[in-house]
Structures are given as C-alpha cells and as structure tokens.
Amino acid sequence: MNDPERLQAWATRRDEPAFAELVRLHLGLVHGSALRQVREPVLAQEVAQAVFLVLADKAGLPAAREGGCFLPS
C-alpha cells in the first residue's frame, strides 16, 4: 500500500493501521522540519503531533474521499 492508498483507507474506512503507518513513515521528516523552524525539541514534537491531527481531520473531507492526496507518493 502506498501513501495515497493509506490516506484513502483512513479517509473512507478510518483504517487505523494505515494511518499509523503514514505517521511512522513521515514522523521523522515532519518532526525534523518543525525542529528546524522552532528550534525547541518539545515544541517540535507538539507541532508534529498537530500536523498529523490536522491530516487525520482533513482526510475526511470530500477531496480525500475522492482520491485527493495530501502527501507525496
């Protein structure tokens, strides 16, 4: 399963293992990017968590259900 398929699985069926795999695969990149911006490890963790919460929420929008993608493949 690739990232767009994982996101689609989350958006349509709330497939938690698929979303967990998205987080596992991209957490390092998201956290590293946040850390470069905020320069505070604890705040970067909070930012990374917020990014995935927003992604989880927005994945339920019509564009995601229709095959839209929020992540590069």
In a domain, 48, yes or no: yes
In a domain, 71, yes or no: no
Asked if 28 and 38 touch (Cβ cutoff 8 Å), the reply is: no
Q: Tell me the per-residue pLDDT of 37-52, one tens digit each, with 9 for 90 and over.
A: 999 999 999 999 999 9
In a domain, 70, yes or no: no
- Residue 63 corresponds to which amino acid? A
In a domain, 8, yes or no: yes
Number of domains in the chain: 1
Task: Enumerate residues 6+ apart whose C-beta is below 8 A from 29.
Answer: none
47-69 mean pLDDT: 76
- Residue 72, pLDDT > 90, answer no
Range of the domain at 14: 3-65
Q: Tell me the per-residue pLDDT of 9-47, one tens digit each, with 9 for 90 and over.
A: 999 999 999 999 999 999 999 999 999 999 999 999 999
Residue 30 tokens, joined = 């998201």
- Residue 55 corresponds to which amino acid? L
